[in-house]
Structure 1
Amino acid sequence: MNRTLTVLLAILLLSSCREGDDIAPAFYTCGFTFSDSSAENENNSKYQNLIDELVSNGVVGMTMSVYQPQSGIWIGGSGKADLNNNIHMKPCNISRVGSTVKMFTATTVLMLAQEGKLELDDPIADYLQADVINRIDNADKATIKQLLQHSSGIFNYIQNLKFQTASLNDLIKEWTPDELLSYAEGKRAYFKPGTDVRYSNTGYILLGMLIEQIEGKPFYEVFDEKIFRPLNLSMTQFAAKNPVPDGIVRGYIDLYSKLQVVESTYFSGWDYFTADGGLISNPKDLNTFFQALMGHKLLNAEYLDQMLTWKSPKEPDPEFFPIAYGLGIFRIETPSGIAYMHSGDAIGYYANMLYFPDDSTSIAYAANSNYGKIDEFVSTKDATEHIISALKD
């Protein structure tokens, strides 16, 4: 998926890292609102052994949730939530889950369409102010559906080297949507709308603005009303409400690719107020959301079918599975079968959630460390294939 460019690691060498805070264990206390029977799950040992293995390889901490119709839900944790204070990871602990929020953004837009408040083939320009639309190439032509499917061709602001430099020079800066959009301004679109697919965070900033325009309130409040509260996702929130909330596990990066991590909890403030990232959650809540979505509890059959309408890129990524783009969701072809998925990362955090339509298995996991050698265990194609095969086969 869309990853922060490797220049990040080099520039971070020049950045000052905040020392680990002294935090009492009670800060990380959490629990579920149901009776967790994971220890009795027939696959308990297999699942726990996997995350223990990943931690032994160098991942700082890991949480995971697996649902299979025949064996029910399993939730587990391994490693450390906080190295400085020697706090063990709990299955319920929350962390940043990055771009997985795009599936929530897309679901919310589709729910608005389902309610008759918009048409997916409407141009986004019909809803947003001209001073936003006129700044960005293709924004005057792209439809809502094309933004959802990353087929708008709109330039991805994160790829602007000036943005990368500015953000890395101030890693705790909290960026506004307008500031981020300015880095897509004047940049030529990748292609004409609808002719190809290419990941664009810029498009999802515009979709967040669309939600706000229609509902008259911040998009993350609409998430609360339409998704978080109805599904009882009590451990899920958006960073705009509190960028570093109580209970969030510390994040770490393998800065030198030597499995010698430095803390990065307070880094990465560019998605705190935009719908392209900024979600805070845990694998249990992500799993609940994915199962509800696929079970028509949020979208009816018509709109779920539209979400699962696929378009493949003209130039496949040779370093990842064969992939096709849906509306805020991806379909990948793995040795274990077709999976729907969305991953996400922030500086020091990685998350992934997958659903296998052949048997309704869903998997969600989160790590509080990334980059360097750690990516080899959590986010590459080989890492993803290893995790899937260990859990599903």
Structure 2
Amino acid sequence: MLRTISLSLFLILVSSCEKDEVLSPAFYACDDSLSNSLHPNSEQYSNLIQNIVNSGVPGMMLSVHDNENGYWSKAFGFADLASKIPLASCNITRVGSTVKTFTAVTILLLQEEGLLDIDDPITDYLSNADIRGLENASQSSIRQLLLHSSGIYNYIQNPQFQTASLNDLIKIWQPEELMSYARNKDSYFPPGTDVLYSNTNYILLGMIIEKVTGKAFFEVFKTKIFVPLGLSYTQFAATDPVPDGIIRGYVDLYSNLNLTNATYYSGWDYFTADGGLISNSYDLAIFMTQLFQGNLLSKESLNEMMSWKAPKGGYGDGFETFYGLGIFLIETAYGPAYLHSGDAVGYFASMVYFPEQEITISWAVNGNYGKVDEFTQSKEAMEKIFDTVLAE
């Protein structure tokens, strides 16, 4: 999930917390046989994670795939600081908005089945009650939701939502409660004229999936993606919001690496298709590899997914970035890369595919905000990871 909540407000509300519970190693036990220690670059990849964790990151898992050597995964640091449980690459974690790529793939698969057309107006599938008060919704197409080109207001940016969320950090939000913070708000631009990230788009896409299938959107994910790809570590939060075995998440409130446990905070995406995915770097690597090597969508659908559009406002001080359908293209020193990242309070994950090298890199950490972000999700941190994997 794209972070827009004020860190200063968050800091005030969670500056005091109860002592962490202590859990047994059995709580986090899983089949940790993913490392592929025979990979020729295993040592340098391991050193990379170790160095990042030694900077003060609670724990990090990294997965890499190339066609010659297959999958490699490793983790260092802790799954649980209070219990001193080492992190394993098979552990599960929150991966936030990486789910948007799963949502987009599901919509494109439904199009392949003839159940919808992404150029249809969303009013063909959603009722007036569904879209009431959402400026631009009645003029927007499914494609524009996927591309973030609808201009529909992002509910997370509403200061009233941020205050309500932070005043009750363990509240479990229902979809309509979230949507209420986008209703009766001005749109950002007319549909199709620009691109701007909005989580509201992906709540609506989840609703469309449910309308055309008659099933919960996350059950459709399971049937069409999780099971066919063998993503055995992947589930959706709606079925179990804080499942046994999920690693603890931490926030660096004061940018001094004095971490606060945030595992149970901010359950606003447990029932919507804009976040809420639980997985690990290994399953994310499988998903990205199979997707962009043509083993999930048809060639035509994959080409539609990669119909890139540049934001008129530029891309800030990060990578040059272009929007696709549930995916982004970034320009790197190693050529183009297809990327989606995800943020939840206490967690961050990113999945990247380099088409010229046919290499996938994914990583997940159980910490964010403050200095943790500098080491794990800044442009400089990402370049360090890319250099380690891709440099000759």
Q: Equivalent of 1:91, from 89, 95, 101?
A: 89
Residue 219 of structure 2 corresponds to 221
Pairwise mapping of residues 32-43 of structure 1 onto structure 2 (< 5 A)? 36=34, 38-43=36-41
Pairwise mapping of residues 21-32 of structure 1 onto structure 2 (< 5 A)? 21-31=21-31
Pairwise mapping of residues 1-393 of structure 1 onto structure 2 (< 5 A)? 2-5=2-5, 7-15=6-14, 16-31=16-31, 36=34, 38-393=36-391
- Aligned residue for 1:168, secondary structure, equals helix
Gaps of 5+ in 1: none
- Aligned residue for 1:128, secondary structure, equals coil
One-letter code aligned to 2:17: C
Instruction: Supply the distance in 1 between the matched residues of 2:158 and 2:9 (Cα, whole angstroms).
Output: 17
- Aligned residue for 1:287, secondary structure, equals helix
Instruction: Supply the distance in 2 between the matched residues of 1:266 and 1:242 (Cα, whole angstroms).
Output: 12
Report the CA distance between 1:37 and its aligned residue.
5.7
Instruction: Supply the distance in 1 between the matched residues of 2:292 and 2:363 (Cα, whole angstroms).
Output: 18
Instruction: Supply the distance in 1 between the matched residues of 2:131 and 2:356 (Cα, whole angstroms).
Output: 41
Instruction: Supply the distance in 1 between the matched residues of 2:220 and 2:8 (Cα, whole angstroms).
Output: 35
- Aligned residue for 1:40, secondary structure, equals coil
One-letter code aligned to 2:156: I
Instruction: Supply the distance in 2 between the matched residues of 1:243 and 1:85 (Cα, whole angstroms).
Output: 21
Kept in 2: contact 1:149–1:326 (CA 8 A): yes
Instruction: Supply the distance in 2 between the matched residues of 1:299 and 1:375 (Cα, whole angstroms).
Output: 33
Instruction: Supply the distance in 2 between the matched residues of 1:23 and 1:37 (Cα, whole angstroms).
Output: 25
CA offsets 1:41-91 (integer angstroms, 9 cap, x no match): 100011000000000111100011000122221100000100000000111
Report the CA distance between 1:296 and its aligned residue.
2.1
Kept in 2: contact 1:66–1:75 (CA 8 A): yes
Gaps of 5+ in 2: none
Kept in 2: contact 1:17–1:264 (CA 8 A): no
Deviates more, 1:294-303 or 1:216-225: 294-303
Report the CA distance between 1:18 and its aligned residue.
4.1
For normalisation by structure 2, the TM-score amounts to 0.97
Instruction: Supply the distance in 2 between the matched residues of 1:359 and 1:254 (Cα, whole angstroms).
Output: 35
Instruction: Supply the distance in 2 between the matched residues of 1:111 and 1:390 (Cα, whole angstroms).
Output: 35
Identical aligned residues as a percent: 55
Kept in 2: contact 1:18–1:263 (CA 8 A): no
For normalisation by structure 1, the TM-score amounts to 0.97
Instruction: Supply the distance in 1 between the matched residues of 2:45 and 2:336 (Cα, whole angstroms).
Output: 21
- Aligned residue for 1:153, secondary structure, equals coil
One-letter code aligned to 2:222: D
Measured at CA, do residues 37 and 384 of structure 1 come closer, stay the same or move farther in structure 2, by a change above 3 Å? closer
Aligned residue pair count:
390
- Aligned residue for 2:239, secondary structure, equals coil
Alpha-carbon RMSD across the aligned residues, in angstroms, is 1.2
